[in-house]
Amino acid sequence: MTVFIWLPSTLLCGFRCPSEGMPVLARSIAEVLLAIHFMRAIRAVLLRDAGLTEVAEDTLWLLHFMLVGRLIVSLRFKNRLH
């Protein structure tokens, strides 16, 4: 099951080939995935010495996804001690 999430994320994140060269449909799918935002932020910090303001959009996207995921998990989790 992990391969169905990991493989498209790896291929669409721009790690192997730049996302600017991808077709428009592939880029729009990649924008929904976390990997492309993470790769953009890491590249900006490591290669261009970018600050937090320059990677704020990608960082907010990652934070938003984390909070939504945490909300879903906490709503589905039922602690039964009986």
Show contacts of 4-7: CB within 8 Å, 24+ apart: none
Q: What is the pTM of this model?
A: 0.74
Q: How many C-beta atoms lie closer than 10 Å to residue 16's C-beta?
A: 8
Q: What pLDDT score does 4 carry? A: 80
SS3 29: helix
pLDDT in tens, 15-73: 777 778 888 988 888 888 888 889 889 989 999 999 989 999 999 999 999 999 999 88
Q: Are 8 and 22 in contact (CB under 8 A)?
A: no
SS3 79: coil
- Separation CA 50–CA 79 (nearest Å): 43
Q: Kindly indicate the confidence band of residue 80, based on its pLDDT and cuts at 50, 70 and 90.
A: low
Q: What pLDDT score does 59 carry? A: 94
Q: What pLDDT score does 1 carry? A: 65
Q: Name the residue ranges covered by the structural domains of the chain.
A: 2-76
